[in-house]
Structure formats: structure tokens, C-alpha cells
A and B are shown apart, each in its own frame.
Chain A
Amino acid sequence: MRDAPKVLAEPLGSELRRALLSPSARARREERGWVRRNAAVLLVYGLLLAAWAIAGSLSLVPAFILPSPLAILNRVARDPGTLVFHSLVTLQEVVFGFLLAVLFGIPLGVLIVWSRLLERLFYPMLVALQAIPKVALAPILVIWFGFGPTSKVTLAFVTALFPIVINTVVGLSQTPPEMIHLMRSLGASGLQIFTKVRLIAAAPQVFGGFKIGITLAMVGAVVGEFIAANKGLGYFLLIANNAFDAPLLFGIVILLSLLSVGLFYSIELLEMLVLPRPLRRSAWKVRPGAGA
């Protein structure tokens, strides 16, 4: 129904023409509609890519500084298997680290909101943990958990934990005190207030924490692989760097970026599936204005 205003704006005859269109023709029209809506964005990305390719083919920039898109594509295509292998390693570390952060982060947020004592206990610890540059933490984690994926999972977990806890705390604190009064006047227990009101009201904020958390988990995992590893995209990046293989280096960076984007949007998809409609992406949504 998003097209309704446009239909009205068109001359009357087009209504008839639209009705006569075959389904496949209508699909083609809709496809063209999508292209038209996103034309500006596509154009900008296209121009950037073209400028990059032209700069590469004219050798305006030395290839070891900025290889052309075609060179990157060629290099990646030469051995996609290895890239897939290292991607899967990194992806696994990120997902496990993130899931651990969710598993610990939400209960921690709940505890912090629940009890003043626990807030005073955990909060400074969390902030202190967050204040440490994660690179500095990596060698210690390698000593503790070894060369393998465990140390990377732990690093991903530690980086993703903070935003998830903070967003959970912020979300849970959002419920206005009058709502709590209202619930208590109805005889609601603390658990009822929590499950029926506070937790659901916090959900959009918590999902916001997930989105920040999963991209940070990627950073954590790659940093871990940088420090000490024998597989994963971070490790492979160092190999490419040592070999002065600029096209591969760029290919890996782009791959990392694409993976992060994919993870981000899978959280967004989950949010769409899990949250009731009025709560989806409410952080960006402006509530319809007062009355009228």
C-alpha cells in the first residue's frame, strides 16, 4: 500500500493500464520502482567504484597502495576456498563470543537494575573492563586460553559484553515510576512488573545493544587473531601483509566489512521477527504527534 499516493497522483487511465498488466509485467514495474527509489544511492556507489577502477587502470596510484577493484576481485577469485575457510573460523568465534555476551550481559543488566548493591559492585568493574584497550587484553587471554579459538571467543565476548549490559540497564530503567505504581496498585508482584512491563519495554534498547555488540565482537575476534593465531581472517590478513599482497589485503578487509554488515542485519532481521510491531526500531521512530 506504500504506492497508494503515487497511484492517485497518476492520471486516471493508468489505473486501467495497471489492471491490465500481467503479473510478471507488474513485478518488472515494481523492480523498476525499486531502482528509481534507490537511484541516487546506486549512482553514488557506482561512481565511487568507477573512479576507483579508473584510477587503478590509469596507474594514478601505485597498485601496492590502492589496488584496482578488478585486481582485488581477481586475487580473491584465485583462491576463494582459503578465504571461506578463514571466514568461517572468524565467524564462528564472533558468533560464539556474541552469544556468550548475550547470555551473560542480559542477566548482568537485570541484576544491576535489580539491586543497588550489585550495581555498585558490578558497574565499576564493567567500566574498568571497558576502559582497557582490548589489544592489551589479548596477550593475557592467549596465555590463559592458548593459541586456539577460545582466546578469540573470549576477546569477542569481552568486547561485546559492555554495550549489551549498558543497553539492558538503560532499557530496563525506562519504565516510568507511575507505571510501577499503577502495577503495584493492582497488586502486581515484582516478577509480574518485570515480565509484563519492564522487560518488554526494554527490548528495543536491548536489540540496539546487540547490534553494537555483534560488530564489536568482530573487532574483538580479529584483534585476537592478530595477536596470536594460526587461522582466521585476522591471521590471514597478517600473512597477506607480510607478503606485500595488497589485493588480498584489501579483499580481506572488504570481506570483514561485508561479514560485519551481514551480522548487523541478521540482528535487525531477528528484531523484526521477534518484537511486536510498535516496538520495532523504536529508537529511530518518532511517535506520531500530539492529537489534532
Chain B
Amino acid sequence: MTSIEGVAISKSFGGVRALNHTSFAADAGEVHALVGENGAGKSTMIKILSGILRPDSGTIRVQGRETTLDSPQVALRLGIGTIFQELTLMPYMTVAENLLIGREPRSGGLISHSGLDMKAHELLDEAGISGIEPLELVANLSLSQRQIVEIIKVVSRRPRILFMDEPTSALAEQEVAWLFGLVRKLREQGTCIVFTSHRWNEIKDIADRITIFRNGENVGTYTAADLSEQEAVERMTGRKLEMLYPEPITLEDPAPILHVEGLSAPALHGISLTVHQGEVLGVGGLAGQGQRELFLTLFGVRHARSGTIQIGGKAVRINNPRDAIRHGLALIPEDRKTEGLLLPLPVRQNLTLPILGRLARSGFIRRQQETDLVQAMIQELAVRTPTSDQPVGALSGGNQQKVLIGRWLLTRSRVLLLYDITRGVDVATKHDIYELIRRLCQEGHAILFYSTDTEEMAHLCHRVLVMREGKIIDELHGPNIAPEAIVAASLHVAAEVTIDASTQVSSSEVSSS
């Protein structure tokens, strides 16, 4: 029986089509995987079916009945629960208050704090988790602990339809097994479960059916057993696997450009690494293991407690982003909308912000020189914009990302720190970015690369370092790094919380390569 269905859903964000008369349906008592590249429309569909976004057109049916999901409240009442990629926890409230928000135990009409504490303990016990203190502020939890709290919060509401948008990005192997145990129990009880993931082996492990999205359209629904990874990737990207990624460049006798020795900071412990000219060095591991802190510390946003950084053989001190830029580093952050671009400002201003000093004479900007540089970069990256004065917020996601990359290319940096830069970018632009990375390698730049898409990392990087709890625990290299190897190296570590043995799924049910 179809639990939830979106029929001919269309959704645009300021001229960019995220969903194009796309349909999607999932049944009761099944685990349904929704896969596709970043920017394919999966999250948008889930947000619409959870009542967070309203579709521009199309119908939604819940348990066969047509409904409009006006708000998350309505969705919750209809039994729809969602674990979003961006967690919905209140940082300054306790775990207990977060777990039970909206359904706090009361005595005499008022919320009972002892009741909150007891019920929270109950929920955690029921889920088989210990090591998370109900009275702890969520702000003090690690990312994987937060993910677990969010999962328990949503699952304990006993939804009939459960959406999970990349629920395992920060979870270790045991924790993933725990989650899948929960999911299997829910499936037995008739819950309809829809989830997205980038990890193929997880999908194969737990999903009954798989729906593939590409460029905002539903490419097809398949039985999980019948679909091979090769086929899936081809359908997700529209081209053959071999044609997706350019051949990595290897320079003759490359000199080391970035050399880090013993770098320590809060959440980083003695990181040492070297990136050579023309090399793409990947930084992998589960989400929230210090990769972000590494990038931020190298760029001067976080203060290093000890350790040295050398660029081009010269030791440098980096106390803030200005220093970093001066020494030839560039950082392209994860969320271009909140950390990178200034959306209401014109493309021109976004492109030249870090190099204003170079463009100005006694504080006055030399317009002509700026225009020349800006036009050249727009052409080089094929940015689709009517003029350079167009507010960057009006451009499509892919073009916005190009502007951001263009900004850093203009700084003529030797070392590029790329943090998840293909997130939310359409397929065509992604391939442009891969070509660009290849060209940058050829020109002798050094690149430090982080991505949540292990497939991407495996194909683009010459070497991959795997991080865990702020340390480098493994290094993978060789002509062909397999994505499963990266995942395996990340997963085989201790869980952050204690999972009750009785709730754990036996290892024979967990397939890991």
C-alpha cells in the first residue's frame, strides 16, 4: 500500500528548477532508498513531503488521501517524521528537552523536569544507547552524538512515514548497525521508510527498492537486488562511469608546496601532511572527525596550539584568513550561501573581494582594471550571468559556485583548500569543476580536498588521508583508490556512544567490504 506519494511535483528557487513535474512514491513496510547526485532534487522532494516547503505545483497523497502539507505541524500530525541533513536540535537546551520537544511530560499541566529526565532516560534505554547524558546541553555534544539524539527524537515519535536525509554521515560502523537495527524493526511494524545516502554498500544492505533522481527528475524505481552499482551510477549521472572523472594528472618530480608538521588545535592532534605541486590530497573519514577544523586551522580561522606550516619551503605564521591569503592559501568553504558568497552583492564585487588591495590605488578602486579581470574570469569559467553587476544570488547554484571558485582563482593562490565544493551543484557544473581541478593540477597548484561523496574523492585524489578524532589514522594511495576502501577505513573504529549489546544487530547481518 502506498504510504506517501508526491505526484508531478515542481519546485523552483528563483529561476532554478529543482524538481520538474517529478513523482515519487513509497510503500508501507518498506525501506526505500532515494539516490542521486548532489543537486538532483532528493532533499527538495523530502522537504516538500515533510511540510517544510510548499510545491509550486503537484499533489501530495498521504495514505491514499490527497493533502496539502501546510506546515511541519500538519505533517507531524499525519504521522510523518523526518531526520533532516541539517539537524533540528536546540543547542542551548538539554538532550532531554530536545528529545521531548512538543510532548514534554507534565504534572498538573506544567512541564515536569524530573519527568523529562526520566522519560529521556527511558527513550535512550529503549534505543539501546548510553553515554549520552540527558541533562547535557546539546551544544556540548559531538556531531555523531547529535545525529543519534536527532534519530532517537524522531523515531520515538513513532511515525508511520519516516524520512532520513543522509542519517549516517557522522556515524561509525557500530552506530550505523544500530540505526539499521532500528530501521528493520520499524519496517516490520509497517512503517514506510525513505532514506538518502551516498554509501552504496549501505543502500544495498538495507533498501528494498531504490529510486534514482537526476537533475530534478525521477529516472526510475528499481528493486534493490536487481540494481548493480555500475548501473545505478550511470543512471544517476547519465553517463558511463569511466567517463565521469578525468584522468588524474601526475607531474614529473613535483615539489612539495604545503608542508604541515605536528599541527594541533582544539579537535586536532598532531596533524602532519605534505601536498605537492599538481597533487590532489583527499581528507576523508566520517563527518565531524576534525576535517573541518583542519581546513579552518590551515586558513587561520582557528588558532593552532602547536605545529608548523610551510608553504613553498618557507615557514609561515597564519593567524587569520588575511595572513593565509597573503601566503597563497585559498579556502572554498562548504556552504557557499552562508560562508562564501555575499548574495545581494554583484558578481563583480564577489569576485574581487579578497584582491581589493591589489586593485586599488590610495584606497580608490581602479574600475577599468577590475572590469578587465572580472570579464576575463567570467569567460574563463563560463559563468552564465547577464552582466557582472548581476546580484550573485540571482544565479543558479552551479554558477554561484563558479563565481566563488573564480574569486579564489583571482587571488593566484598556490594552495587550494576545497571543502565539499560540489555539494548542491548540478551535474554539468560538477564536471566543469572536475576539469578545472585537472587544469589547476597541471598548472602546478596543490589541492587539499574534502568531499562527502567518497566516489568523487576516490576518483579525483592521488592520495587520501583518513581522519578520526582529529588524528590521521590511515593513508590510501596508488593509481586506483576504491571508494569502498575509503569508507571501510573510516568505519572500522569505536563508536562514540555505548550501544547495548542486546539491541545490536549481529555482525553477519552487517555487510561491509
A and B found bound together: no
> Hey, which bits of chain B sit against chain A, CB under 8 A?
none
> Hey, which bits of chain A sit against chain B, CB under 8 A?
none
